[in-house]
């Protein structure tokens, strides 16, 4: 498999080169030259696959030529060694819980997969690699955990000061060893822009080997397809599901669409956003995409004003608005509705949502109610059902959740051990020069 740059001014590269570079030299995102089709009997027999076999089958065409099958098998085995349960919440709605990994968010899959790929590709390289990553909440902790102690790799995490939850901040600032946190006086978009500028800076790249662990890196982005397949293994309903994805940087929903184009049955995608509504506005305006500054919300990991991966979604649909609109609907849900949704779902269904899951749930519920009410749906037709991605454990936002539900959340061991720790971060301005000087002096 070869990867091309979406700016189309860089040569094609292998999966290994795309992973090591992170972003193409022309500042474009790498994209697979074709979307592999899964054999028809794969979906028919999906229940007979173990998680490891399924992960290997899906990922193998994407890494072909870059590592032996046995290495990929081992990487997948170590990546998906925790559960991905699909839990019923209402008659028509299920929750795909992606928070059972070590840092309690969906990012663990991509971070673990990428850290192992990079470790393998870098095995004979004497030169240290610096992984730069921007986070609005969950990526930072997952990357810190996934890369902790990986030889020859140094991780620098940029996060917006005061805009991540206290648990998220502890996850990314207390690891020590090869992990450093830079607390940026700005927004996630500032962090992301600084990181992207670093990859394009010739002077910096002569001195330091840089790569990205955000979803702009194909090794972080592509394995996110796997949990859509894990969900389908557990899907017992008559019709293919509607899938609602809480969306910020849009890597996750883009991976789901990729899985669908490969052959995974999906009725429709719902991109569930908070007040950061660049994509809902794109749909409402008939295809005008205008990035704007992010605003802070309760679902902070989705506080993104210029989603990196939207360009990949457009590429998947040949940049044709009617095709994008047929496949995806989009919602913008504010904080008041998010809080009301957490309250209502807890009191009616005894299911505890986190703020991101609440955004996903609300959008899905609204979409399904409208779809099931349409006259064409017919009274006798089975109701359309779906699932939303519960992308983070509610315990990552204990204050907000306890205030809404009036219930104390019990802390899992993975959070308890963080609570007594002291955060270690270096505060820097939202300026590329500050980042560059810091990198050059460390
Ligand atoms: N939601 C993210 C923002 C970065 O997204 P990524 O998937 O590109 O790493 C976060 O939690 O940091």
- pTM beyond cutoff 0.95: yes
Q: Which domain holds residue 340?
A: 85-105+221-411
Which is the closest atom of ligand 1 to the Cα of 214?
Answer: 9
Of 415, 438, 431, nearest to 169 (Cα)?
A: 415
Would you say residue 361 lies in a domain?
Answer: yes
Would you say residue 403 lies in a domain?
Answer: yes
Q: 276 CB under 6 A from ligand 1?
A: no
Ligand 1 center to 138 CA (angstroms): 6
Would you say residue 179 lies in a domain?
Answer: no
Q: 224 CB under 6 A from ligand 1?
A: no
Would you say residue 396 lies in a domain?
Answer: yes
Would you say residue 368 lies in a domain?
Answer: yes
Higher pLDDT, 378 or 278: 278
Residue the block writes with tokens 């502890």? 170
How does pLDDT run across 214-270, given as a tens digit for each residue?
999 999 999 999 999 999 999 999 999 999 999 999 999 999 999 999 999 999 999
How does pLDDT run across 75-84, given as a tens digit for each residue?
999 999 999 9
Q: 141 CB under 6 A from ligand 1?
A: no
Would you say residue 347 lies in a domain?
Answer: yes
Closest-CA residue, ligand 1 atom 9, reads 214
Model pLDDT, residue 126? 80
Which is the closest atom of ligand 1 to the Cα of 105?
Answer: 11
Would you say residue 349 lies in a domain?
Answer: yes
Q: 137 CB under 6 A from ligand 1?
A: yes
Please choose from 132, 182, 249, 294 the residue to mutate so as to test ligand 1's pocket, defined by most ligand atoms within 8 A of CB.
249
How does pLDDT run across 348-358, given as a tens digit for each residue?
999 999 999 99
Query: Over 90: is that where the pLDDT of 26 sits?
Result: yes
Q: 274 CB under 6 A from ligand 1?
A: no
Q: Is the dihedral of CA 375, 379, 380, 383 positive or negative?
A: positive
Average pLDDT value over all residues in the chain: 96
Which is the closest atom of ligand 1 to the Cα of 249?
Answer: 5
Closest-CA residue, ligand 1 atom 5, reads 249
Q: 244 CB under 6 A from ligand 1?
A: no
Structure tokens at 157: 């995490």
- State mean pLDDT over 82-89: 98
Q: How confident is the model at residue 404 (pLDDT cuts 50, 70, 90)?
A: confident
Q: What is the CATH number of the domain that holds 375?
A: 3.40.50.1100
Q: 248 CB under 6 A from ligand 1?
A: yes
Ligand 1 center to 384 CA (angstroms): 30
List the catalytic residues. Answer: 107
The strands making up 328-332's β-sheet, listed across from edge to edge, are: 86-88, 93-97, 386-390, 242-246, 268-273, 328-332
Q: 138 CB under 6 A from ligand 1?
A: yes
Domain count, the chain: 1
Q: How confident is the model at residue 410 (pLDDT cuts 50, 70, 90)?
A: confident
Model pLDDT, residue 420? 87
Which is the closest atom of ligand 1 to the Cα of 137?
Answer: 11
Would you say residue 234 lies in a domain?
Answer: yes
Rounded to whole angstroms, the Cα distance separating 320 from 228 reads: 25
Model pLDDT, residue 376? 64
Model pLDDT, residue 405? 87
Closest-CA residue, ligand 1 atom 12, reads 135
């Amino acid at each position: 498999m070869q990867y091309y740059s979406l700016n189309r001014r860089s040569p094609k590269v292998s999966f290994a080169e795309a992973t090591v570079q992170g972003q193409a030299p022309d500042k474009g995102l790498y994209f697979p030259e074709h979307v592999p089709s899964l054999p028809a009997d794969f979906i028919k027999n999906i229940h007979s696959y173990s998680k490891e076999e399924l992960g290997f089958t899906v990922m193998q065409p994407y890494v072909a030529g870059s590592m032996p099958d046995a290495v990929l098998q081992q990487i997948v085995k170590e990546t998906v060694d925790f559960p991905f349960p699909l839990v019923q919440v209402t008659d028509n709605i299920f929750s795909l819980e992606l928070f059972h990994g070590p840092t309690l968010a969906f990012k663990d899959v991509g971070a673990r997969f990428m850290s192992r790929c990079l470790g393998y590709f870098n095995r004979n390289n004497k030169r240290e690699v610096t992984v730069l990553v921007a986070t609005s909440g969950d990526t930072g902790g997952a990357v810190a955990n996934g890369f902790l102690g990986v030889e020859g790799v140094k991780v620098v995490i940029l996060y917006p000061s005061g805009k991540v939850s206290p648990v998220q901040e502890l996850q990314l600032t207390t690891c020590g060893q090869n992990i450093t946190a830079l607390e940026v006086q700005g927004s996630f978009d500032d962090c992301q822009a600084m990181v992207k500028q670093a990859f394009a800076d010739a002077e910096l790249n002569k001195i330091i080997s840089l790569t990205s662990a955000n979803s702009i890196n194909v090794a972080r982005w592509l394995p996110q397809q796997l949990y859509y397949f894990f969900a389908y293994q557990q899907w017992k309903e008559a019709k293919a599901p509607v899938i609602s994805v809480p969306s910020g940087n849009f890597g996750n929903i883009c991976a789901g669409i990729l899985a669908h184009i490969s052959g995974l049955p999906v009725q429709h995608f719902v991109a569930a956003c908070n007040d950061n509504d660049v994509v809902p506005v794109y749909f409402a305006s008939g295809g005008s995409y205008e990035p704007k500054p992010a605003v802070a919300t309760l679902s902070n990991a989705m506080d993104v004003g210029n989603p990196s991966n939207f360009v990949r979604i457009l590429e998947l649909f040949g940049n044709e608005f009617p095709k994008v609109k047929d496949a995806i609907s989009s919602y913008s849900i504010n904080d008041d509705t998010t809080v009301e949704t957490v309250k209502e779902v807890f009191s009616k269904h005894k299911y505890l949502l986190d703020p991101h899951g609440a955004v996903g749930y609300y959008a899905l519920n609204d979409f399904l109610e409208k779809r099931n009410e349409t006259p064409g749906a017919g009274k006798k037709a089975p109701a359309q059902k779906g699932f939303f991605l519960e992308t983070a454990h509610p315990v990552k936002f204990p204050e907000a959740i306890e205030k809404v539900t009036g219930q104390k959340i019990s802390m899992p061991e993975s959070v308890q051990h963080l609570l007594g720790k002291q955060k270690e971060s270096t505060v820097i301005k939202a300026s590329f020069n500050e980042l560059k000087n810091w990198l050059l002096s460390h």
